[in-house]
Amino acid sequence: MEPSATDIINPNWGIFGIVVLLGFAMLLVPKKYALAPLFIVAAYITLGQFVVIGPAHFTMLRLMVVFGFLRVAIFQDHAIIVLSPLDKAMIAWSISTILTYTILWQSGQAFVNRIGLCFDTVGVYFLCRLYLTSMEDVSRMIAVCVALMIPLACAMTYEFITGKNLFSFLGGVAEISEIRDGRVRCQGSFRHPILMGTFGATMLPLIISLWWQQGVSKLLTVLGIGAALVIVICAGSSGALMASVYGVLGLMFWVLKDKMRIVRWTLVGLVIGLQLFMKAPVWYVLARLSSLTGGTGWHRAYLIDQAIRYFGEWWLIGTKVTAHWMPTGLLIDPTKADITNQYLVQGVNGGIITMILFIIIVVQGFRGVGHAVRGFPAHRFADRFLVWAMGASLFAHAVSFISVSYFDQIQVFWFFLMAIIAISADCVEPDVRKAVIEPKHVPTKSLISHFDRG
């Protein structure tokens, strides 16, 4: 039976009431904690609960985004944003996503679907841009996320031991945990174990960087690192495990921060060398790795092969049917293959332009990290390393995108990461001006050169 114009799916009035209270809390708490209620909902409330109003589905997360923009409208306590290249890329991607998907499916429902998706994701991005205006705000918000992860890790531990998901009563997730090769794969409030594990893995570099932040408890940092590792282990995903490795390796490259150009070209040369000496295309390295770590690396590699083979089907505005790409389709939709690649999902749903714009977002993120690390003065090591940790987290996401597509609340934390990268780049200029004003932080020769240029 179709839902009525206004209805609660899988109703849990207690949880709905709590979310509404959190929404009002978002309106009333001090500005520096305005986003905390939204992240509470993102961490603990599944997407199985939503309100249907006409053609629109309002998840609990979407309701919180509405409350966020309501606060912006009522109190006008937000920062003024000067659009950065990353902001512009985000807007362009959103427009392309909406237009191409609507043209592909030629229905009002498709238009509403994409509007809702962009409202959730880009809404979170710009709320973070509006309410986080300094590196202190950023580190505080990361600390809030850490505090949320600790109980989540406890729930994951319970699920790992018992095989029962505590979040199942909220709908959207199964009560009995998935088991692969005799191992429990925990998903908590997320829609898939891989996404839950990837969440823990990509937060790990940010948590480690808090150790050097003033005002953040060392105990909280240690507990946060433990919580992230517990989440990765309980998820039972080789992809998430590798993402945590990528993130930590990214942090370790701090010692080579002044030689990253050499590192990048070395990686390019390595990829070219692998392509020359491997019998199969270079992306079949995924299959080789999965033979060591477990997982379905061959599926990921073969999917890239098929996307190239059927490029003519999706390059313009995407495609509706992908079942013929792979030996097996999805049980929930026999017309679709399991597109376990975030980059390819952009192409399948929006064509090559949408895919390129998504890649530009990632590239602009790395550029923002580089700009901020170079721009902060040397005496602000804690902030420089925090920005570097953002780059390490972005690297973990970017590599994970090759083997998983995001379709639940992990997108909140992905867009949060992109927002704080943009914020850190914005914070550079005031520090540069301050360095010029306060000679003790600037060599005399540099000051003379500065005034000579003036």
Length of the chain: 454
For residue 354, count other CB atoms closer than 10 A to its CB. 26
Copy the structure tokens of residue 161.
Answer: 């031991």
Q: Which residues contact 137 (CB under 8 A, 6 or more apart)?
A: 32, 131, 423
Verify that 61 and 100 share a domain, yes or no.
no
Verify that 153 and 193 share a domain, yes or no.
yes
Verify that 6 and 151 share a domain, yes or no.
no
Total domains present in the chain: 2
| Residue whose entry in the numeric block shows the structure tokens 């992905």 | 414
Verify that 240 and 383 share a domain, yes or no.
yes
Verify that 20 and 139 share a domain, yes or no.
no
CA pair distance 298, 389, nearest whole angstrom = 30
Domain encompassing residue 136? 79-453
Verify that 156 and 289 share a domain, yes or no.
yes
Verify that 39 and 102 share a domain, yes or no.
no
CA pair distance 34, 18, nearest whole angstrom = 16
Copy the structure tokens of residue 240.
Answer: 């998430």
Tens digit of pLDDT at every position of the chain (454 positions): 333 334 444 557 788 899 999 999 999 999 999 999 999 999 999 987 777 776 677 889 999 999 999 999 999 888 888 899 999 999 999 999 999 999 999 999 999 999 999 999 899 999 999 999 999 999 999 999 999 999 999 999 999 999 999 999 888 899 999 998 888 999 999 999 999 999 999 999 999 999 999 999 999 999 999 999 999 999 999 999 999 999 999 999 999 999 998 998 999 999 899 888 888 888 888 887 776 666 678 889 999 999 999 999 999 999 999 999 998 778 788 899 999 999 999 999 999 999 999 999 999 999 999 999 999 998 899 999 999 999 999 999 999 999 999 999 999 999 999 999 999 999 986 554 444 334 344 443 433 343 344 3
Verify that 69 and 85 share a domain, yes or no.
no
CA pair distance 133, 240, nearest whole angstrom = 31
53 and 4 Cβ atoms separated by less than 8 Å = no
CA pair distance 68, 299, nearest whole angstrom = 40
CA pair distance 143, 201, nearest whole angstrom = 16
Verify that 211 and 349 share a domain, yes or no.
yes
CA 443 from chain centre, in angstroms, equals 40
Is this structure's pTM higher than 0.85? Answer: yes
Which pLDDT score is estimated for 449? 42
CA pair distance 424, 374, nearest whole angstrom = 11
Verify that 49 and 141 share a domain, yes or no.
no
| Residue whose entry in the numeric block shows the structure tokens 């990253």 | 260
Verify that 40 and 107 share a domain, yes or no.
no
243 and 395 Cβ atoms separated by less than 8 Å = no
